[in-house]
Chain A
Amino acid sequence: MAIYGFSSPGWGDSWQPFDELRRELGALMDDWGARASRGARAGVFPPVNLYETEREYVLTAEVPGLRGEDLDVTLDGQRLTLRGERRIDAPAENVSVHRRERQAGVFHRTVALPENVDREKVEATYRHGVLVVRIPKPAAQQPRRIAIRASE
């Protein structure tokens, strides 16, 4: 399991050691020789994008083909964990396999959000193969409208 911190500018520097370890393990565990390794790069699946608005952080990940029960999102303080399994039906017998590029398997990734957030208000949706997690920022961080009173 690799942990990535989102606090830039050194974003990613802190995970280098974990990345090395995982690449070693990957070489030992990989028995999918026939799979085309198109531009394989270091990293833990799934790749995520992180956005922010005034009121919330939004994390997105492309994880097509999951059924509801095969995806798990948990939040603990500052750490958001995505966990799941992608299943692909094995081909029937007596078929020719012309392409086999899609990957099935398990994934487990924890990311560190820029700050502690309120886990009660986190919302995760899965639409058309995309996971979107909306994480409200702590109230103190949101811009507060200051009422202007008229002076006498």
Chain B
Amino acid sequence: MANQGEIEVREKEAVKQEGTRAGLSFRPDVDIVESAEEYLVCADLPGVDEGGVSVELHEDELSIDARLSVEPESAWRPLHREYRLGGYQRRFRLSDRIDAERISAEMRDGVLTLHLPKAARHRPRQIEVRSGGG
């Protein structure tokens, strides 16, 4: 996978949220990859620390909600603004059952990494085919 291109500037996408939290929320960029054993979800949540993100799994729906931990100080007067600030929100429906006990979530440098192991009975089972003999 090419890693050497220049990064493109994209507008943040605001979500209309009905919720109890005031303020703007944006739809974070995510990568979702599915293997036989798990879903791996990585989300860019710059400005968020581990205390500011909530990950919930309800039946087959995964929700990510985050608020900023790194914010402009009240004394800072804006001179020029190229990007907007706000929390993040995204929801996914996963097709396989997840073993909630074994979910792992890590926040580092504004990136959320989620390992969602599939429940055992939903993992593809390799069935050994033996020869019928003769």
Contact = CB atoms under 8 A, between A and B. Distances in A.
B44 A106 contact: no
Contact of B109 (A11, A104, A128): A128
Nearest to A38: B10
A49 B76 CA distance: 11
A21 interface: no
Interface size class for chain A? 35 or more
Contacts of A44: 9
A49 B80 contact: yes
A101 B30 contact: yes
The A interface is mostly helix, strand or loop, or mixed, namely loop
Contacts, number: 172
Interface size class for chain B? 35 or more
Interface string A79-121: 0000001111011101111111111111110000010000000
Interface string B98-134: 0000000001011100000000000000000000000
Given A95-B33, A96-B34, A107-B6, 10 more contacts: A6-B80, A26-B8, A50-B78, A51-B72, A51-B77, A62-B46, A62-B47, A97-B32, A102-B42, A104-B1
Interface of B: 1-11, 13, 29-36, 40, 42, 44-49, 69-70, 72, 75-83, 85, 107, 109-111
Interface of A: 6, 8, 11, 26, 29-32, 37-53, 57-58, 60, 62-67, 85-88, 90-92, 94-108, 114, 126-130, 132
